[in-house]
Amino acid sequence: MLTYINMENPDTKLEEKLWRRGLKYVVGVDEAGRGPLAGPIVVSAVLIQSSDQVVEGVRDSKKMSKKQREERYDEILKVSTACGVGIVSSKEIDRVGIKEAVREAMEKAVLEVEKKLKCKVDYIISDGAVYLLEDREMLSISHGDLHHYSISAASVLAKVVRDRIMEKYAKKYPEYGFERHVGYGTKQHLEAISKYGVCPIHRRSYAPVKKAL
């Protein structure tokens, strides 16, 4: 059984343990956008092969400022062996449910990494909120984005990508304030839904949106 140490800042101890087992390609996975009432779910995958590829200052994206995430985004992409992003729309979330949508986005992210590697990854480590894929060697870890670098780096990529998507939607649907709450059910967002109704990127299967319909 794999064991790991919970640390304040993420480290590569788990990745190193897997590397020593001969698992050359270990990819960390995390998601952004499970809870919002609007916009896509985004899953990112980050693969490193050495602690030398760690970007200083990377932590769980929720514990970093927007500026910190943006500053480290390009560096993660630059120094990692491979990165991938999977995006699933609000319409698909409504069609298959959020659990399956997360799986679809994770599969896309991992496949993008494998396309760059031109081979299969050996192992996936994911935050506990990301669901297991069938036919994959994988470990889902509660609060994994707090403790393990690859997952933390993936959380940063996913958050930055999703925030940028929502900022673009904010220009298309300015009345909702997506640039501020990125789709979460804030008071401002709920008031906007009440006043303006539901727009095309709202998740109609989510209770507050369904109620507004």
The full set of domains in the chain, from first to last, is: 13-165 (3.30.420.10)
CB atoms within 10 A of CB 171: 9
From CA 136, how far away is CA 121, in angstroms rounded?
A: 9
Question: Contact, 158 vs 31, CB < 8 A?
Answer: yes
Q: What is the pLDDT along the chain (213 residues), one digit of tens a residue?
A: 343 434 468 999 999 999 999 999 999 999 999 999 999 999 999 999 999 999 999 988 988 999 999 999 999 999 999 999 999 999 999 999 999 999 999 999 999 999 999 999 999 999 986 777 888 999 999 988 899 999 999 999 999 999 999 999 999 999 999 999 999 999 999 999 999 999 999 999 999 999 988
Supply angle C-alpha 90, 102, 22, rounded to 5. 150
Q: pTM for this one? A: 0.93
First to last CA, the chain: 48
